[in-house]
Amino acid sequence: MPDETAPENDAAHANIGIVCALAIELGAFLERCERVKKYKGGDFVFRGGRYDDVRIAVVETGLGFARARRATQAMLDAHTPQWVVSAGFSGALLPEMKVGQIVMANSIVDTHGHELKVDMKMPADPEHGLHVGRLVNTDEIVQTIAEKKRLAEETGAIAVDMESLAVAQICQERGIRFLAVRVISDDLSADLPDEVRTVIGTSGSARLGAALGAVWKRPGSVKEMWHLRETAMKAAERLASFLDGVVKQLHAADH
C-alpha cells in the first residue's frame, strides 16, 4: 500500500517550488499551468497548480534579500518541494547578452563578498541565447550601463538580480536542491528610466500614485515605462518556454 504520510501524498506538497520577486515574471508560465489557485500566506502571495503531472508552488516575494529569505522559508514550510528554482528577471552585465536570453547560475555572489556555488552542469549555448555563469545580487535596482559594467569588472558576474542568493542560502541550510534560472529583461543598450525605483515598491507591485507622479514630473516617461513593460512581457514569455524544459527534466530526474 502507498504510504499516505509520504510528502508526495500530501495535498499541500509541491514537487517544485519557484520563487520570484514580481508577478509579471512568472505570469506567462502560470498561464501554462492547470488548476492554479492563489492564496495569501503572511506577507506573501502564493500560487499553486499542476504543470502536466508536476505539482508546482510559486511564491511572490517582492524585491530584496530579506523578503526573499522569508518567502523561501515560508515556501519550504508550507509545500516541502524537492527542488526550488529562483526564477525571474535579471540585468545583463555583458554587452553580448540581449533581452530574452537565459542565464543559469553556477555561482551567486553579492557585493559584500559572500559566494555560494550552485551544482549545475548544463553547458552554455550563447549562440542560442543560453548563458551559464556567475550571478551577482545587489541591494538595489541597477539602472545604468556604467553601474553594470562596474559590477562585471568587480565580481566577474554575467548578470544581476536582487533575490537569488537569499533563496540559495535558505535551500543550502535546509538541504533542498536549488537552481537559479533568470531571463535578461534589460541589457547594456540603455539605462533604465529613473522612475523604475519609485514606481515599483518594495513589495514588487506597481504603485499607482508613484506612476501618476512620474508622468506628471516627466511626461516622456510614459513611453519609456510602456516600452519597459512590453519588454518585460516578452522576457516573461521566453522564461516560461525555458522553464517548460527545466520543470520536466527536474521531475523526470526524481521519478
What is the predicted pLDDT for the residue at 11?
67
Give φ, ψ of 184 to 5 degrees: -75, 120
At residue 143, the pLDDT reads 86
3-state secondary structure of 16: strand
Q: What is the pLDDT of residue 1?
A: 38
What pLDDT is stored for residue 47 in this prediction? 95
Q: Answer left, alpha or beta for residue 45, where phi above 0 means left and psi between -120 and 50 means alpha.
A: beta
Lookup: cell for 201: 515598491
Angle of CA points 76, 81, 82, to nearest 5°? 125
- The pLDDT of residue 4: 43
Counting Cβ atoms within 10 Å, is residue 247 exposed (0-12), middle (13-18) or buried (19+)?
buried
* Beta strands 102-110 and 177-186, pairing class: antiparallel
Q: State residue 200's pLDDT score.
A: 52
Architecture of domain 7-254: 3-Layer(aba) Sandwich (3.40)
Measured from the Cβ of residue 178, the count of other Cβ atoms closer than 10 Å reads 25
Chain position carrying cell 519588454: 231
DSSP secondary structure letters along 151-205: HHHHH--SEEESSHHHHHHHHHHHT-EEEEEEEEEE-TTSPPPTHHHHHB-TTSP
Query: In this predicted structure, what is the pLDDT of residue 17?
Result: 97
**pLDDT per residue rounded down to tens, the chain (255 residues):** 334 444 455 668 999 999 999 888 999 999 999 999 999 888 899 999 999 899 999 999 988 899 999 999 999 999 999 999 999 999 999 999 999 999 999 999 999 889 999 988 889 999 999 999 999 999 988 889 999 999 999 999 999 999 999 999 999 999 999 999 999 999 999 887 765 555 454 444 454 444 444 444 545 555 666 577 788 889 999 999 999 999 999 988 876
Domain residue extents for the chain = 7-254
**The three grid cell numbers given for residue 16, joined into one nine-digit string:** 517544485
For residue 151, the model assigns a pLDDT of 95
